[in-house]
A and B are shown apart, each in its own frame.
Chain A
Amino acid sequence: MQNRYSFGGDEHLFVECDESMSLEAFFKSLSMTNAVRDSQIKGVTEICPANASFQIKFNPDIIRPDDMLREVQAIESAASKTDPVIATRIIEIPVFYQDPWTHETLMRFRERHQDPKATDLEYAARINNYSTVDDFIAAHAGSPWFVSMVGFVAGLPFMYQMVDRPRQIQVPKYLRPRTDTPKLTVGYGGCFSCIYSVRGAGGYQMFGITPMPIFDPEQKTSYLRDFMVFFRPGDIVKFKPIGREEYDHTVEDVAAGRFAPAISDVTFDLREFQKDIDGYNARLEGMINGR
Protein backbone atom coordinates (compact mmCIF):
# COMPACT_ATOMS: atom_id res chain seq x y z
CA MET A 1 0.00 0.00 0.00
CA GLN A 2 1.17 3.46 -0.98
CA ASN A 3 0.70 6.47 1.29
CA ARG A 4 -1.73 9.18 0.27
CA TYR A 5 -0.42 12.69 1.00
CA SER A 6 -2.51 15.82 1.47
CA PHE A 7 -1.96 19.21 3.08
CA GLY A 8 -4.13 20.33 5.99
CA GLY A 9 -3.87 24.06 5.27
CA ASP A 10 -0.40 25.64 5.23
CA GLU A 11 0.74 24.09 8.53
CA HIS A 12 -0.09 20.36 8.36
CA LEU A 13 0.96 17.45 6.20
CA PHE A 14 -1.63 14.68 6.44
CA VAL A 15 -0.62 11.16 5.44
CA GLU A 16 -3.04 8.27 5.06
CA CYS A 17 -1.23 4.91 5.11
CA ASP A 18 -4.41 2.98 4.29
CA GLU A 19 -8.16 3.67 4.10
CA SER A 20 -8.81 0.52 6.13
CA MET A 21 -7.67 -0.23 9.63
CA SER A 22 -5.12 -3.00 9.96
CA LEU A 23 -2.09 -3.75 12.07
CA GLU A 24 0.06 -3.24 8.97
CA ALA A 25 -1.35 0.26 8.39
CA PHE A 26 -0.93 1.18 12.04
CA PHE A 27 2.59 -0.19 12.07
CA LYS A 28 3.49 1.84 9.00
CA SER A 29 2.07 4.99 10.60
CA LEU A 30 4.01 4.36 13.81
CA SER A 31 7.33 3.55 12.15
CA MET A 32 7.08 6.50 9.80
CA THR A 33 6.35 8.94 12.61
CA ASN A 34 9.32 7.47 14.52
CA ALA A 35 11.50 7.97 11.43
CA VAL A 36 10.29 11.55 10.98
CA ARG A 37 11.10 12.24 14.63
CA ASP A 38 14.59 10.73 14.24
CA SER A 39 15.28 12.72 11.08
CA GLN A 40 14.86 16.01 13.00
CA ILE A 41 13.53 17.93 10.01
CA LYS A 42 13.77 21.65 10.75
CA GLY A 43 10.42 23.38 11.14
CA VAL A 44 8.48 20.32 12.38
CA THR A 45 6.48 21.26 15.49
CA GLU A 46 4.19 18.24 16.10
CA ILE A 47 4.29 14.59 15.02
CA CYS A 48 0.97 12.83 15.57
CA PRO A 49 0.49 9.14 14.72
CA ALA A 50 -3.09 7.89 14.33
CA ASN A 51 -4.59 4.48 13.65
CA ALA A 52 -3.89 4.13 9.93
CA SER A 53 -2.61 7.65 9.19
CA PHE A 54 -0.50 10.38 10.69
CA GLN A 55 -0.05 14.14 10.68
CA ILE A 56 2.97 16.43 10.80
CA LYS A 57 2.52 20.03 11.89
CA PHE A 58 5.21 22.34 10.57
CA ASN A 59 6.10 26.00 10.36
CA PRO A 60 5.97 27.00 6.68
CA ASP A 61 8.12 30.07 7.46
CA ILE A 62 10.95 27.60 8.17
CA ILE A 63 10.27 24.80 5.67
CA ARG A 64 8.19 25.22 2.51
CA PRO A 65 5.24 22.82 2.29
CA ASP A 66 6.61 21.19 -0.89
CA ASP A 67 9.97 20.59 0.79
CA MET A 68 8.20 19.11 3.81
CA LEU A 69 6.34 16.75 1.50
CA ARG A 70 9.55 15.68 -0.25
CA GLU A 71 11.31 14.99 3.07
CA VAL A 72 8.51 12.73 4.30
CA GLN A 73 8.18 10.94 0.95
CA ALA A 74 11.91 10.20 1.08
CA ILE A 75 11.38 8.69 4.53
CA GLU A 76 8.58 6.52 3.15
CA SER A 77 10.85 4.92 0.57
CA ALA A 78 13.58 4.40 3.19
CA ALA A 79 11.09 3.05 5.74
CA SER A 80 9.84 0.40 3.31
CA LYS A 81 13.32 -1.15 3.42
CA THR A 82 13.67 -1.30 7.21
CA ASP A 83 12.52 -4.18 9.42
CA PRO A 84 9.01 -3.86 10.92
CA VAL A 85 10.32 -3.97 14.48
CA ILE A 86 9.70 -1.54 17.33
CA ALA A 87 10.88 -1.28 20.91
CA THR A 88 7.88 -0.66 23.13
CA ARG A 89 6.34 -1.74 26.45
CA ILE A 90 3.56 -4.07 27.50
CA ILE A 91 1.27 -2.91 30.31
CA GLU A 92 -1.32 -4.80 32.33
CA ILE A 93 -4.47 -2.75 32.94
CA PRO A 94 -6.87 -4.03 35.63
CA VAL A 95 -10.53 -3.75 34.55
CA PHE A 96 -13.64 -4.15 36.70
CA TYR A 97 -16.08 -5.29 33.97
CA GLN A 98 -19.82 -4.85 34.65
CA ASP A 99 -19.09 -2.31 37.39
CA PRO A 100 -21.90 -0.36 39.10
CA TRP A 101 -20.81 3.11 37.85
CA THR A 102 -20.86 2.50 34.12
CA HIS A 103 -24.02 0.44 34.67
CA GLU A 104 -25.75 3.38 36.35
CA THR A 105 -24.64 5.65 33.49
CA LEU A 106 -25.71 3.33 30.67
CA MET A 107 -29.14 2.91 32.27
CA ARG A 108 -29.53 6.71 32.30
CA PHE A 109 -28.89 6.92 28.53
CA ARG A 110 -30.83 3.82 27.41
CA GLU A 111 -32.99 5.74 24.94
CA ARG A 112 -29.85 6.68 22.97
CA HIS A 113 -28.85 3.04 22.52
CA GLN A 114 -29.52 0.60 19.65
CA ASP A 115 -30.89 -1.97 22.10
CA PRO A 116 -32.53 -0.22 25.08
CA LYS A 117 -33.54 -3.51 26.72
CA ALA A 118 -29.99 -4.90 26.95
CA THR A 119 -26.84 -3.58 28.62
CA ASP A 120 -23.93 -2.43 26.44
CA LEU A 121 -22.08 -5.69 27.19
CA GLU A 122 -25.12 -7.89 26.45
CA TYR A 123 -25.60 -6.06 23.14
CA ALA A 124 -21.91 -6.27 22.18
CA ALA A 125 -21.75 -9.98 23.09
CA ARG A 126 -24.82 -10.79 21.03
CA ILE A 127 -23.85 -8.96 17.83
CA ASN A 128 -20.35 -10.47 17.97
CA ASN A 129 -21.82 -13.99 18.33
CA TYR A 130 -20.75 -14.71 21.90
CA SER A 131 -23.31 -16.78 23.78
CA THR A 132 -22.68 -15.11 27.15
CA VAL A 133 -21.32 -11.82 28.47
CA ASP A 134 -18.63 -13.78 30.30
CA ASP A 135 -17.42 -15.31 27.03
CA PHE A 136 -17.32 -11.84 25.49
CA ILE A 137 -15.34 -10.43 28.43
CA ALA A 138 -12.95 -13.37 28.14
CA ALA A 139 -12.36 -12.43 24.50
CA HIS A 140 -11.88 -8.71 25.29
CA ALA A 141 -9.38 -9.57 28.02
CA GLY A 142 -7.95 -12.56 26.18
CA SER A 143 -5.61 -10.92 23.68
CA PRO A 144 -3.28 -7.92 23.84
CA TRP A 145 -4.11 -4.58 22.22
CA PHE A 146 -1.98 -2.01 20.43
CA VAL A 147 -2.39 1.62 21.49
CA SER A 148 -2.84 2.85 17.92
CA MET A 149 -3.55 6.47 18.80
CA VAL A 150 -3.56 8.71 21.89
CA GLY A 151 -5.91 11.62 21.63
CA PHE A 152 -9.38 12.93 21.03
CA VAL A 153 -8.98 14.45 24.49
CA ALA A 154 -5.97 14.47 26.82
CA GLY A 155 -4.36 11.06 27.20
CA LEU A 156 -7.21 8.91 25.84
CA PRO A 157 -5.85 5.71 24.22
CA PHE A 158 -7.46 4.09 21.18
CA MET A 159 -6.58 0.39 21.23
CA TYR A 160 -6.63 -2.11 18.38
CA GLN A 161 -7.09 -5.81 19.08
CA MET A 162 -4.08 -7.95 18.16
CA VAL A 163 -5.99 -10.85 16.58
CA ASP A 164 -6.72 -11.79 12.97
CA ARG A 165 -9.58 -9.91 11.37
CA PRO A 166 -12.34 -12.57 11.65
CA ARG A 167 -11.93 -12.54 15.45
CA GLN A 168 -11.90 -8.77 15.75
CA ILE A 169 -14.65 -7.36 17.99
CA GLN A 170 -16.75 -4.69 16.26
CA VAL A 171 -19.49 -2.64 17.93
CA PRO A 172 -21.23 0.50 16.66
CA LYS A 173 -21.18 3.66 18.76
CA TYR A 174 -24.32 4.84 20.58
CA LEU A 175 -27.02 6.19 18.22
CA ARG A 176 -26.65 9.58 19.91
CA PRO A 177 -23.65 10.36 22.13
CA ARG A 178 -24.14 10.41 25.91
CA THR A 179 -23.56 13.66 27.76
CA ASP A 180 -21.77 11.76 30.53
CA THR A 181 -19.23 8.97 30.85
CA PRO A 182 -17.50 8.06 34.12
CA LYS A 183 -13.78 8.80 34.24
CA LEU A 184 -11.67 5.69 33.42
CA THR A 185 -14.49 3.87 31.64
CA VAL A 186 -13.28 1.12 29.32
CA GLY A 187 -15.27 1.71 26.14
CA TYR A 188 -15.73 0.33 22.63
CA GLY A 189 -16.62 1.85 19.27
CA GLY A 190 -16.07 0.50 15.76
CA CYS A 191 -13.03 -1.78 16.03
CA PHE A 192 -11.39 0.18 18.85
CA SER A 193 -11.39 -0.11 22.60
CA CYS A 194 -10.60 3.02 24.60
CA ILE A 195 -10.21 4.28 28.14
CA TYR A 196 -11.90 7.62 28.89
CA SER A 197 -9.14 9.65 30.54
CA VAL A 198 -11.57 12.26 31.91
CA ARG A 199 -15.28 12.37 32.67
CA GLY A 200 -17.41 13.74 29.87
CA ALA A 201 -19.46 13.17 26.75
CA GLY A 202 -18.94 9.94 24.82
CA GLY A 203 -20.42 7.64 22.23
CA TYR A 204 -18.52 4.40 22.85
CA GLN A 205 -20.24 1.38 24.44
CA MET A 206 -19.28 0.99 28.12
CA PHE A 207 -17.86 -2.34 29.33
CA GLY A 208 -16.19 -1.57 32.67
CA ILE A 209 -13.85 0.70 34.55
CA THR A 210 -10.18 0.67 35.52
CA PRO A 211 -9.02 1.82 38.98
CA MET A 212 -5.78 3.10 37.39
CA PRO A 213 -5.67 6.84 36.52
CA ILE A 214 -4.15 7.49 33.07
CA PHE A 215 -4.17 11.31 33.07
CA ASP A 216 -3.31 13.51 36.05
CA PRO A 217 -2.72 17.21 35.32
CA GLU A 218 -1.62 17.73 38.95
CA GLN A 219 0.89 14.87 38.63
CA LYS A 220 0.18 13.57 42.13
CA THR A 221 -0.32 9.93 41.06
CA SER A 222 2.96 8.13 41.84
CA TYR A 223 3.55 6.80 38.32
CA LEU A 224 2.47 10.07 36.64
CA ARG A 225 4.91 12.36 38.47
CA ASP A 226 7.31 12.51 35.52
CA PHE A 227 4.57 13.11 32.98
CA MET A 228 0.82 13.62 33.31
CA VAL A 229 -0.17 11.34 30.39
CA PHE A 230 0.32 7.59 30.87
CA PHE A 231 -0.10 6.12 27.37
CA ARG A 232 2.10 6.48 24.29
CA PRO A 233 1.25 5.37 20.76
CA GLY A 234 2.74 1.90 20.26
CA ASP A 235 2.16 0.71 23.83
CA ILE A 236 0.80 -2.84 24.10
CA VAL A 237 -2.01 -3.35 26.62
CA LYS A 238 -3.35 -6.50 28.26
CA PHE A 239 -6.58 -6.18 30.25
CA LYS A 240 -6.85 -8.14 33.50
CA PRO A 241 -10.40 -8.71 34.77
CA ILE A 242 -10.78 -7.89 38.47
CA GLY A 243 -13.69 -7.94 40.91
CA ARG A 244 -15.04 -5.32 43.32
CA GLU A 245 -12.64 -6.22 46.10
CA GLU A 246 -9.50 -5.87 44.01
CA TYR A 247 -10.91 -2.71 42.42
CA ASP A 248 -11.41 -1.09 45.85
CA HIS A 249 -7.94 -2.19 47.00
CA THR A 250 -6.33 -0.76 43.89
CA VAL A 251 -8.16 2.57 44.28
CA GLU A 252 -6.81 2.74 47.85
CA ASP A 253 -3.31 1.79 46.70
CA VAL A 254 -3.35 4.46 43.99
CA ALA A 255 -4.45 7.09 46.55
CA ALA A 256 -1.71 6.01 48.95
CA GLY A 257 0.94 6.07 46.21
CA ARG A 258 1.53 2.31 46.54
CA PHE A 259 0.23 1.22 43.15
CA ALA A 260 2.68 0.58 40.33
CA PRO A 261 1.34 -0.61 36.99
CA ALA A 262 2.81 -3.88 35.71
CA ILE A 263 5.02 -2.81 32.79
CA SER A 264 7.76 -4.58 30.84
CA ASP A 265 9.89 -3.43 27.94
CA VAL A 266 9.38 -5.57 24.85
CA THR A 267 10.45 -5.68 21.22
CA PHE A 268 7.63 -6.22 18.77
CA ASP A 269 8.32 -7.82 15.39
CA LEU A 270 5.37 -7.65 13.01
CA ARG A 271 6.60 -10.55 10.79
CA GLU A 272 7.10 -12.89 13.74
CA PHE A 273 3.69 -11.86 15.07
CA GLN A 274 1.97 -12.65 11.77
CA LYS A 275 3.55 -16.13 11.57
CA ASP A 276 1.85 -17.25 14.81
CA ILE A 277 -0.45 -14.64 16.35
CA ASP A 278 -1.66 -16.65 19.35
CA GLY A 279 1.79 -18.02 20.16
CA TYR A 280 3.37 -14.57 19.83
CA ASN A 281 0.69 -13.01 22.06
CA ALA A 282 1.21 -15.72 24.70
CA ARG A 283 4.94 -14.93 24.75
CA LEU A 284 4.19 -11.19 25.03
CA GLU A 285 1.85 -11.74 27.97
CA GLY A 286 4.47 -13.90 29.64
CA MET A 287 6.74 -10.88 29.70
CA ILE A 288 4.45 -8.75 31.89
CA ASN A 289 6.46 -8.24 35.06
CA GLY A 290 8.91 -10.82 33.76
CA ARG A 291 6.47 -13.60 34.61
Chain B
Amino acid sequence: MAVKVLNPGLSTTVQDLGRPGYFHLGIPIGGAMDRLALRAANLLVGNDEGAAGLEAVFIGPHLEFTRDALIAVTGADMPIKLDGEEQPSWTALKVRAGQVLSFGFLQTGARIYIAIAGGIDVPIALGSRSTYPIGALGGFKGRAIAKDDELPVGSAAAGTEGRSIPKALRRRPGMPAELRVLPGLYWHRVTEESHRNFFDDQWKVAPEADRMGYRFRGGRPLQFVERDQPFGAGSDPSNIVDSCYPYGSIQVPGGTEPIILHRDAVSGGGYFMVGTVVSADMDLIGQLQPNTPTSFVKVDMDGALKARADRAALLDRIRSVFD
Protein backbone atom coordinates (compact mmCIF):
# COMPACT_ATOMS: atom_id res chain seq x y z
CA MET B 1 0.00 0.00 0.00
CA ALA B 2 1.19 3.50 -0.73
CA VAL B 3 0.23 7.07 -0.20
CA LYS B 4 0.73 9.11 -3.35
CA VAL B 5 2.13 12.62 -3.02
CA LEU B 6 0.13 15.03 -5.20
CA ASN B 7 1.81 18.09 -3.70
CA PRO B 8 4.57 17.88 -1.10
CA GLY B 9 3.90 21.18 0.70
CA LEU B 10 6.85 23.37 1.62
CA SER B 11 9.11 20.81 3.28
CA THR B 12 7.52 17.59 4.43
CA THR B 13 9.72 14.88 5.87
CA VAL B 14 9.35 11.41 7.37
CA GLN B 15 10.15 11.61 11.10
CA ASP B 16 9.97 9.33 14.11
CA LEU B 17 11.57 9.81 17.54
CA GLY B 18 15.08 9.99 16.07
CA ARG B 19 18.41 8.12 15.99
CA PRO B 20 20.40 8.62 19.19
CA GLY B 21 23.97 7.34 19.35
CA TYR B 22 25.73 8.96 16.38
CA PHE B 23 26.16 12.60 17.43
CA HIS B 24 29.87 11.94 18.08
CA LEU B 25 30.16 11.38 14.33
CA GLY B 26 28.17 14.47 13.40
CA ILE B 27 24.89 12.65 12.74
CA PRO B 28 22.16 14.35 14.80
CA ILE B 29 19.29 12.65 16.60
CA GLY B 30 16.68 14.16 14.25
CA GLY B 31 13.08 13.08 14.58
CA ALA B 32 9.91 15.11 15.12
CA MET B 33 10.59 18.62 16.38
CA ASP B 34 7.36 18.47 18.41
CA ARG B 35 7.65 14.97 19.83
CA LEU B 36 4.48 15.18 21.94
CA ALA B 37 2.43 15.96 18.83
CA LEU B 38 3.91 12.99 16.92
CA ARG B 39 3.35 10.66 19.87
CA ALA B 40 -0.27 11.82 20.18
CA ALA B 41 -0.90 11.32 16.45
CA ASN B 42 0.48 7.79 16.60
CA LEU B 43 -1.57 6.91 19.70
CA LEU B 44 -4.75 8.09 17.93
CA VAL B 45 -4.26 5.64 15.04
CA GLY B 46 -3.12 2.77 17.25
CA ASN B 47 0.57 2.90 16.29
CA ASP B 48 3.56 2.63 18.57
CA GLU B 49 4.29 6.15 19.79
CA GLY B 50 7.58 6.10 17.94
CA ALA B 51 6.22 5.05 14.53
CA ALA B 52 7.27 7.19 11.57
CA GLY B 53 4.84 9.87 10.41
CA LEU B 54 5.06 13.00 8.29
CA GLU B 55 6.15 16.39 9.62
CA ALA B 56 5.04 19.32 7.45
CA VAL B 57 6.09 22.88 8.15
CA PHE B 58 3.90 25.95 7.37
CA ILE B 59 2.14 24.34 4.34
CA GLY B 60 0.51 20.92 4.37
CA PRO B 61 0.92 18.31 1.61
CA HIS B 62 -1.80 16.87 -0.64
CA LEU B 63 -1.87 13.10 -0.33
CA GLU B 64 -3.94 10.52 -2.17
CA PHE B 65 -4.66 7.26 -0.37
CA THR B 66 -4.69 4.08 -2.48
CA ARG B 67 -6.31 2.04 0.29
CA ASP B 68 -8.59 2.59 3.29
CA ALA B 69 -6.64 3.96 6.23
CA LEU B 70 -6.92 5.43 9.70
CA ILE B 71 -5.07 8.73 10.07
CA ALA B 72 -4.67 11.58 12.56
CA VAL B 73 -3.26 15.09 12.23
CA THR B 74 -1.86 16.88 15.30
CA GLY B 75 0.40 19.83 16.02
CA ALA B 76 -0.24 23.23 14.44
CA ASP B 77 -3.73 24.51 13.63
CA MET B 78 -4.22 24.06 9.91
CA PRO B 79 -7.63 23.14 8.44
CA ILE B 80 -7.67 19.44 7.53
CA LYS B 81 -9.67 18.37 4.48
CA LEU B 82 -10.70 15.02 3.04
CA ASP B 83 -11.89 15.47 -0.55
CA GLY B 84 -12.32 19.11 0.35
CA GLU B 85 -14.49 18.50 3.42
CA GLU B 86 -13.12 19.87 6.70
CA GLN B 87 -12.19 17.36 9.42
CA PRO B 88 -11.35 17.67 13.13
CA SER B 89 -7.72 17.84 14.22
CA TRP B 90 -6.18 15.65 16.98
CA THR B 91 -8.77 13.02 16.01
CA ALA B 92 -8.60 9.57 14.41
CA LEU B 93 -10.07 9.90 10.90
CA LYS B 94 -11.18 7.17 8.53
CA VAL B 95 -9.92 7.64 4.98
CA ARG B 96 -11.32 5.61 2.08
CA ALA B 97 -9.26 4.44 -0.87
CA GLY B 98 -9.05 7.18 -3.49
CA GLN B 99 -9.67 10.04 -1.09
CA VAL B 100 -7.35 13.03 -1.02
CA LEU B 101 -6.05 14.62 2.20
CA SER B 102 -5.26 18.32 1.88
CA PHE B 103 -4.86 21.35 4.10
CA GLY B 104 -5.93 24.97 4.36
CA PHE B 105 -3.80 27.89 5.50
CA LEU B 106 -1.76 27.66 8.68
CA GLN B 107 -3.41 29.46 11.61
CA THR B 108 -1.33 28.97 14.75
CA GLY B 109 1.76 26.87 15.36
CA ALA B 110 4.24 25.86 12.67
CA ARG B 111 4.29 22.09 12.15
CA ILE B 112 1.62 19.44 11.65
CA TYR B 113 2.15 15.73 12.22
CA ILE B 114 0.33 13.19 10.07
CA ALA B 115 0.20 9.65 11.45
CA ILE B 116 -1.14 6.77 9.37
CA ALA B 117 -2.06 3.44 10.98
CA GLY B 118 0.86 1.10 10.24
CA GLY B 119 3.36 3.96 10.07
CA ILE B 120 5.39 5.19 7.10
CA ASP B 121 7.39 2.11 6.25
CA VAL B 122 10.60 3.47 4.73
CA PRO B 123 13.81 1.50 5.47
CA ILE B 124 15.39 1.98 8.90
CA ALA B 125 18.75 3.79 8.70
CA LEU B 126 20.96 3.73 11.82
CA GLY B 127 18.01 2.71 13.95
CA SER B 128 15.51 5.29 12.72
CA ARG B 129 13.29 6.28 9.80
CA SER B 130 13.85 10.01 10.39
CA THR B 131 15.04 12.09 7.44
CA TYR B 132 18.49 13.74 7.67
CA PRO B 133 18.64 15.62 4.35
CA ILE B 134 22.22 16.98 4.69
CA GLY B 135 23.53 13.45 4.96
CA ALA B 136 20.97 12.05 2.46
CA LEU B 137 20.14 9.58 5.22
CA GLY B 138 16.87 7.94 6.30
CA GLY B 139 13.36 9.06 5.43
CA PHE B 140 12.11 8.71 1.86
CA LYS B 141 15.33 8.38 -0.19
CA GLY B 142 17.15 10.66 2.25
CA ARG B 143 15.16 13.77 1.33
CA ALA B 144 11.91 15.67 1.80
CA ILE B 145 8.98 14.09 -0.05
CA ALA B 146 8.31 15.27 -3.62
CA LYS B 147 5.42 15.21 -6.11
CA ASP B 148 4.60 11.70 -7.37
CA ASP B 149 6.47 9.92 -4.57
CA GLU B 150 4.65 6.82 -3.37
CA LEU B 151 5.15 6.44 0.36
CA PRO B 152 5.02 2.89 1.70
CA VAL B 153 2.78 2.32 4.72
CA GLY B 154 3.04 -0.66 7.08
CA SER B 155 0.15 -3.00 7.77
CA ALA B 156 -2.07 -2.27 10.74
CA ALA B 157 -4.88 -3.84 12.71
CA ALA B 158 -8.24 -2.12 12.35
CA GLY B 159 -8.20 0.94 14.61
CA THR B 160 -10.99 3.00 16.09
CA GLU B 161 -12.06 6.16 14.32
CA GLY B 162 -13.39 9.22 16.10
CA ARG B 163 -11.16 9.10 19.17
CA SER B 164 -9.73 12.48 20.02
CA ILE B 165 -7.19 14.19 22.33
CA PRO B 166 -8.96 16.71 24.60
CA LYS B 167 -7.99 20.34 23.98
CA ALA B 168 -6.50 20.71 27.48
CA LEU B 169 -3.88 18.09 26.61
CA ARG B 170 -2.66 19.81 23.42
CA ARG B 171 0.45 21.68 24.49
CA ARG B 172 1.11 24.99 22.76
CA PRO B 173 3.59 27.82 23.15
CA GLY B 174 2.04 30.88 24.81
CA MET B 175 1.99 34.41 23.38
CA PRO B 176 4.63 35.65 23.92
CA ALA B 177 6.27 32.23 23.84
CA GLU B 178 8.28 31.41 26.96
CA LEU B 179 11.26 29.10 26.71
CA ARG B 180 12.92 27.97 29.93
CA VAL B 181 16.70 28.17 29.84
CA LEU B 182 19.36 26.76 32.15
CA PRO B 183 22.29 29.21 31.96
CA GLY B 184 25.70 27.58 31.61
CA LEU B 185 28.31 26.35 29.12
CA TYR B 186 30.08 29.68 28.28
CA TRP B 187 27.69 31.93 30.23
CA HIS B 188 30.74 33.38 32.04
CA ARG B 189 31.93 34.92 28.78
CA VAL B 190 29.37 37.76 28.96
CA THR B 191 28.91 40.49 31.55
CA GLU B 192 26.41 40.49 34.41
CA GLU B 193 24.51 43.27 32.72
CA SER B 194 24.16 41.09 29.61
CA HIS B 195 23.05 38.19 31.82
CA ARG B 196 20.14 40.34 32.96
CA ASN B 197 19.38 41.77 29.52
CA PHE B 198 19.26 38.35 27.91
CA PHE B 199 16.38 37.32 30.17
CA ASP B 200 14.71 40.74 30.41
CA ASP B 201 14.57 41.49 26.69
CA GLN B 202 11.86 40.31 24.37
CA TRP B 203 13.14 38.49 21.29
CA LYS B 204 11.44 37.57 18.02
CA VAL B 205 11.82 34.43 15.91
CA ALA B 206 13.84 35.35 12.81
CA PRO B 207 13.05 33.99 9.33
CA GLU B 208 16.10 31.71 9.63
CA ALA B 209 14.32 29.01 11.61
CA ASP B 210 14.41 25.37 10.62
CA ARG B 211 15.05 21.86 11.92
CA MET B 212 18.73 22.63 12.51
CA GLY B 213 18.19 25.75 14.55
CA TYR B 214 15.99 28.72 15.39
CA ARG B 215 17.43 32.22 15.24
CA PHE B 216 16.10 35.11 17.34
CA ARG B 217 16.38 38.90 16.97
CA GLY B 218 15.45 42.03 18.83
CA GLY B 219 17.25 41.85 22.18
CA ARG B 220 20.24 43.98 23.15
CA PRO B 221 23.63 42.70 21.94
CA LEU B 222 25.61 40.79 24.57
CA GLN B 223 28.78 42.39 25.97
CA PHE B 224 31.76 40.13 26.47
CA VAL B 225 34.06 39.87 29.44
CA GLU B 226 37.45 40.91 28.08
CA ARG B 227 40.12 38.29 27.63
CA ASP B 228 43.01 37.35 25.37
CA GLN B 229 41.52 34.85 22.95
CA PRO B 230 42.83 31.33 23.70
CA PHE B 231 45.01 29.57 21.10
CA GLY B 232 42.86 27.99 18.39
CA ALA B 233 39.68 29.88 19.30
CA GLY B 234 39.65 32.50 16.56
CA SER B 235 39.74 36.26 16.91
CA ASP B 236 36.10 37.21 17.59
CA PRO B 237 35.17 37.35 21.30
CA SER B 238 32.22 35.06 20.58
CA ASN B 239 34.61 32.36 19.27
CA ILE B 240 35.74 29.34 21.30
CA VAL B 241 37.92 26.37 20.41
CA ASP B 242 35.37 24.32 18.46
CA SER B 243 33.39 22.27 20.98
CA CYS B 244 30.35 20.01 21.05
CA TYR B 245 26.95 21.68 20.92
CA PRO B 246 24.18 20.31 23.17
CA TYR B 247 20.68 19.99 21.69
CA GLY B 248 18.82 23.12 22.74
CA SER B 249 22.04 25.05 23.34
CA ILE B 250 21.90 28.78 22.57
CA GLN B 251 24.87 30.15 20.65
CA VAL B 252 25.18 33.86 19.98
CA PRO B 253 27.60 34.53 17.08
CA GLY B 254 29.06 38.00 17.46
CA GLY B 255 26.88 38.46 20.57
CA THR B 256 23.89 39.62 18.54
CA GLU B 257 21.41 36.95 17.43
CA PRO B 258 20.84 33.85 19.59
CA ILE B 259 20.45 30.55 17.73
CA ILE B 260 18.84 27.57 19.48
CA LEU B 261 20.01 24.28 17.99
CA HIS B 262 17.22 21.77 17.42
CA ARG B 263 16.81 18.11 16.40
CA ASP B 264 18.96 18.32 13.21
CA ALA B 265 21.69 20.29 15.01
CA VAL B 266 25.25 20.55 13.80
CA SER B 267 27.18 18.60 16.43
CA GLY B 268 29.79 21.22 17.17
CA GLY B 269 31.46 24.42 16.19
CA GLY B 270 33.30 27.51 17.28
CA TYR B 271 30.64 29.77 18.81
CA PHE B 272 30.17 30.26 22.55
CA MET B 273 26.85 29.33 24.11
CA VAL B 274 25.00 31.07 26.95
CA GLY B 275 22.96 28.09 28.10
CA THR B 276 20.47 25.47 27.00
CA VAL B 277 16.70 25.32 26.57
CA VAL B 278 15.36 22.65 28.95
CA SER B 279 14.38 19.35 27.30
CA ALA B 280 10.71 19.88 28.18
CA ASP B 281 10.45 23.03 26.03
CA MET B 282 12.10 21.70 22.87
CA ASP B 283 8.69 20.61 21.53
CA LEU B 284 7.41 24.20 21.81
CA ILE B 285 10.16 25.57 19.56
CA GLY B 286 8.92 23.35 16.74
CA GLN B 287 5.61 25.26 16.84
CA LEU B 288 7.05 28.80 16.64
CA GLN B 289 6.42 30.84 13.50
CA PRO B 290 8.80 33.58 12.38
CA ASN B 291 8.13 36.89 14.22
CA THR B 292 6.70 35.17 17.30
CA PRO B 293 7.64 37.27 20.36
CA THR B 294 9.67 35.08 22.69
CA SER B 295 11.04 35.43 26.22
CA PHE B 296 13.77 33.32 27.73
CA VAL B 297 12.96 32.35 31.30
CA LYS B 298 15.82 31.53 33.63
CA VAL B 299 15.59 28.26 35.57
CA ASP B 300 18.00 26.23 37.69
CA MET B 301 18.45 22.46 37.41
CA ASP B 302 15.56 21.81 39.81
CA GLY B 303 13.35 23.96 37.59
CA ALA B 304 14.53 22.07 34.50
CA LEU B 305 13.76 18.70 36.12
CA LYS B 306 10.36 19.94 37.33
CA ALA B 307 9.53 21.00 33.75
CA ARG B 308 10.62 17.58 32.56
CA ALA B 309 8.38 15.85 35.12
CA ASP B 310 5.42 18.05 34.12
CA ARG B 311 5.88 17.15 30.47
CA ALA B 312 6.11 13.43 31.35
CA ALA B 313 2.88 13.77 33.38
CA LEU B 314 1.16 15.40 30.41
CA LEU B 315 2.24 12.53 28.17
CA ASP B 316 0.83 10.08 30.71
CA ARG B 317 -2.49 11.91 30.64
CA ILE B 318 -2.52 11.72 26.83
CA ARG B 319 -1.82 7.99 27.06
CA SER B 320 -4.60 7.52 29.60
CA VAL B 321 -7.11 8.72 26.98
CA PHE B 322 -6.51 5.34 25.32
CA ASP B 323 -6.74 3.12 28.44
Contact = CB atoms under 8 A, between A and B. Distances in A.
Interface of A: 6-12, 14, 16, 18-22, 45-55, 57, 60-61, 65-66, 149-156, 158, 165, 172-173, 190-192, 197-198, 200, 215, 217, 228-229, 231-233
A150 B277 contact: no
Given A190-B233, A217-B135, A11 B279 contact: yes
B244 A150 contact: no
A70 to B, nearest CB: 14
A151 B278 contact: no
Interface of B: 20-27, 125-126, 132, 134-137, 142, 182, 184-185, 187, 230-235, 240-244, 246-249, 266-270, 273, 275-280, 301, 304-305, 308, 312
Given A54-B244, A150-B24, A158-B242, A48 B276 contact: no
Nearest to B242: A51
B7 to A, nearest CB: 27
Query: Which 7 interchain pairs have the tightest Cβ spacing?
Result: A21-B232, A8-B246, A9-B276, A151-B267, A151-B26, A55-B244, A20-B230
Chain B interface SS verdict (over half): mixed
Contacts, number: 177
A149 B301 CA distance: 29
Contact of A49 (B24, B240, B270): B24
Nearest to B309: A61
B261 to A, nearest CB: 10
Contacts of B26: 150-156, 197, 229
Given A21-B233, A55-B246, A10 B182 contact: yes
A8 B266 contact: no
A150 to B, nearest CB: 5
Contacts of B20: 45-46, 57
A157 B103 CA distance: 43
B243 A229 contact: no
B246 A14 contact: yes
B304 A9 contact: yes
Given A52-B232, A52-B241, A8 B184 contact: yes
